[in-house]
Amino acid sequence: MSVAAIILAAGKGTRMRSKRAKVLHELGGEPMIARAIRAAAALEPEPIVIVVGHQAREVEAAVSFSRARFALQEPQRGTGDAARCGLGRIPMGFTGDVLIAYGDMPAITPATLRAFLEAHRKRGAKLSLISIILDDPAAYGRVIRDGGGKVEKIVEFRDASPAERAIKEINTGFYLVDAALLRSALAELKPGNAQGEYYLTDIVAIARARGESEKVEAWVATDPAEFAGINSREELANMEAEIRAAVNRKLMQSGVTLVDPACTYISEQAEIAPDCVIGPNVQIIGMCKLGEGVRIDGTAWLSNVTIGPRCHLKLGVRAEDCVIGEESEIGPFANLRAGTELAGHNRIGNFVETKKARLGRGTKASHLSYLGDATIGADTNVGCGVITVNYDGYDKHQTVIGDRCMVGCDTQLVAPVKVGSDVFVASGTTIVREVSDGSLVMSHHPQREKAGWMAAWRKRHGDSPDGSLRRSKDHQD
């Protein structure tokens, strides 16, 4: 039998106290809805429908799942109305089961949903829901069973009697429903409740009232933590901490040293080889890959970075969407922006910024330089204060520097420009034309002096010839 899925993600999330839709808030470096979609996708549903409402365009833009369809719920009139909107995007000829899940319940695992589907079909149910037992069921909807233990209905906490509120079995909100039953049950929903909304939970009582032909089952899950919803900033932070702790445990078990796991933030998508050492206050976000023996001293921010074996990232490195070849030394306080590619055995030192820069093997830029839109060959040394002048106010332009060059301090290369191999660039040079291989290039101006100029300058400002009056005033200030 085939499966379709509806993920409800239309709500605003009032308790988040945010202008952003709740499902757009991030967990583990990605919008929480991405985690819910990934779990549902494990059942290979076709189609998978995301019901959007508040900030619908932003939510759609955040969903990277290529097979997703979207249904707009406007206005938002409850979960039953949301499910009805989602069902409208599933072809009328579909005859399988429909999974209903939530975009703000990101802890659910694919394994749990697979087990739920297996139990649903094994029992021959037309409607199954996932329930859990809680010592303190709080304000969740209660699962009401008859004397024989069969599910009768779901009662929301606001509408429950004192006796019903004493029940500890609660509804998680996850359903598997035969498509034909879902269509007919949703058509019968009425807003007869304290909120004046269409409750999805009412489909349980509707199915049960039809007798054994519409068999209803509750599958009791064993791990309540998977069904924790995100309704506040505190709950978001708590789940983030749980995710981070689980990632860190797994990494340490695989042979990675985390100097201080409590302040190390690593995404679940990151791949980190054994014998890496990661210092405190490090964030490794997205699809990062760290080769064996990489050392990160601390206070680093890395996003979608590939780092070769035995590299050393010193304090304060920031890098995104770039490649760092093996045995390179980066930092302290270096900024490798998107498009940077280091071939290996490179040195990018303190206060160096790169952007779309490709550096050949062994090339170094040790301090205080900007290398943007540049291709630099192997074994070239870039001195202090070198700038590739890549922007003319409208467009970016390329700088090309060859192999084995010595680029002196305080050099500006005004792009587009090409410097050949084996070139020595004298300090303070401004390069505006192509430089041939093997050349010495310079653009020095003659040094000029005006004897006695400083005494006249001080006299003009009422200072003594040796500057003592100025120093005395500075000391008083």
State the catalytic residues: 367
Alpha-carbon distance 416 to 176, whole Å? 61
Q: Bin 331: left if φ > 0, else alpha if -120 < ψ < 50, else beta.
A: left
Tokens of 212: 């054994």
Strand partners, 313: 296, 330
Taking the alpha carbons at both ends of the chain, their separation in whole angstroms is 85
Q: 49: number of CA atoms within 13 Å, CB side?
A: 22
Position of tokens 């969407």? 321
Cβ(314)–Cβ(330) under 8 Å? yes
| Radius of gyration of the chain measured on its C-alpha atoms | 32
Q: What are phi and psi of 471, to 5 degrees?
A: -65, -40
Alpha-carbon distance 66 to 71, whole Å? 15
Cβ(245)–Cβ(225) under 8 Å? no
Give CA separation, 31 vs 9, 24, 54, 64, 108, in Å: 12, 5, 15, 10, 15
